[in-house]
Amino acid sequence: MSRPNPTFGELLRQQRQMRGLTQARLAQDAGLSVRGVSDLERGRKQAPRQSTLHLLIEALHLEGAAAAALVATAAPRRRPEISPTKRDNLPIALTSFVGREQDSADVAAALASARLLTLVGTGGIGKTRLALDVAGAVSERYRNGAWLVELAGLA
């Protein structure tokens, strides 16, 4: 018997089992690790990144209410209006973004008149967090949304 408000992991497991898939098969179809799927189902990971969520929705062939239900059970987002068909890879914000409203507004305004914007400053001051906040806020302006590209690992 299922709970009235299932967790993300419980709902993911239900959807996988309804389709007769093993964790290994779902992981393969979604391009994820078996351990990652297992950790999500067991609640070891509370919720996936947004990009992982979209891969799971596609691999399970979820549409409409079923996709929306899976999205709704993921960790609280700062953008609750997110659609299960949205295409971006921005990580889900697990904390609120307080006290930098003016910085966000300034960056968004600068981005409105530029194709590329670089944030510079000392490490640890919140450049990435600011960029992610602005990207999430303005992604609807762009046909293909907003995408995070990690460059730190490149030499």
86's CB contacts (< 8 A; 6+ apart) are 50, 54, 139, 145
Number of domains in the chain: 2
Q: How much is the pLDDT for 23?
A: 92
Q: How much is the pLDDT for 15?
A: 92
Q: 68 with 100, same domain?
A: no
Task: Output the tens digit of pLDDT for each of the chain's 155 residues.
Answer: 555 678 888 899 999 999 999 999 999 998 988 888 888 888 877 678 888 888 999 999 988 888 888 888 886 544 444 455 666 788 887 777 788 889 988 998 888 888 888 999 998 898 888 998 888 888 878 777 888 887 777 76
Q: Which domain range does residue 120 map to?
A: 95-155
Domain's final residue, options 73, 106, 127? 73
Residue 82 lies in a domain: no
Residue 41 lies in a domain: yes
Residue 142 lies in a domain: yes
> What Å distances lie between residue 15 and 6, 12, 34, 43, 47, CA to CA?
12, 5, 16, 15, 15
Q: 99 with 155, same domain?
A: yes
Q: How much is the pLDDT for 122?
A: 93
Residue 1 lies in a domain: no
Q: 139 with 105, same domain?
A: yes
Question: Does the model's pTM come out above 0.75?
Answer: no
Q: How much is the pLDDT for 3?
A: 59
Q: 67 with 109, same domain?
A: no
| CATH code assigned at 30 | 1.10.260.40
Residue 99 lies in a domain: yes
Q: 22 with 61, same domain?
A: yes
Q: 62 with 106, same domain?
A: no
Q: 64 with 101, same domain?
A: no
Residue 85 lies in a domain: no
Half-sphere exposure of 131 (CA within 13 A, CB side): 17
